[in-house]
Amino acid sequence: MKADMYIRRIVVVVGLLIGLSVPGFAQHFYFAQMTDTHFGYKDNTNRTAKVVNAINTLPLKIEAVVHTGDIFDECILDTDIVNEAKQTLGALKPPVYYLPGNNDIVEIDEAPAMRDAFVKHFGPVASKAEVKGVVFLMIYSEPLRVDVKVDFDTLGWLRTALKDAGDKPVIVFTHTPISQDFYLNKMHDSWPAENRRKWETLISSNGNVKAVITGHFHRDELDWIGNTPQFVCPPVSSLFNRQLAFRVYEYNNGKIGYRTIYPD
């Protein structure tokens, strides 16, 4: 009897160890998002520093921070402002991942130089990381939305990255939501219809994509891409007189919730 009980306990322990090695098993962790810091505009350096301090002093273990673009206010070629941004953001304690927004690489002749500056200081315009068994995909999607003079195959990169992720859960981070933008009391298209359809098809056809996380709108919003939630985070920037904010997300076995935090 005692031998049987001992064997059963060993089987349970071995089963748990095997389960913990399987993607998607008992995944629970926290990560943070900041967006639209717009360095170079008014008091945004001080506002970003407040967010950095708030993240560093949270009573939760933050596994990663993702900045979803518009790091700069069309001034990524200004070395002084870039150094100020890197110094401010460099104080973050968790690993940090970046992607460019429409104000980092602008629809002007200097777009290639702005792209090169982003790559030099913050890494590739699309990247991936694995956080506690969940694949984070940070992707530059502006070429699907506007006529920016940068050669990047957004859909091709995303298609390959989703395939490479296999059966692991995925969270996609990008700057601009595909949903319509509501301001001045009416709706405005944020993506061309055809590219929006292609993005929707790619996201909604992959059951492993647990969420798309964005910024750009400078407000809170929740939309859906098929059965996939699209979260829109409010900004750090004071542009449009917005309140300073960032997000803490809780990933719990494929389900994602969030808390919007206001440091002021």
What are the extents of the domains in the chain?
28-261
pLDDT tens profile 129-151 = 999 999 999 999 999 999 999 99
pLDDT of residue 264: 84
- Taking the C-alpha atoms of residue 256 and residue 210, their distance in angstroms, rounded to an integer, is 8
| 3-state SS assignment for residue 239 | helix
Single out the residue of 77, 61, 72 nearest to residue 101, CA to CA. 72
Q: Report the chain's terminal Cα–Cα distance, integer Å.
A: 63
Q: What are phi and psi of 79, to 5 degrees?
A: -60, -40
Ranges of the chain whose pLDDT falls below 50: 1, 5-7, 9-24
The overall pTM is greater than 0.85: yes
28-261 under CATH 3.60.21.10, yes or no = yes
- Contact in structure between 189 and 180 (CB atoms under 8 Å): yes
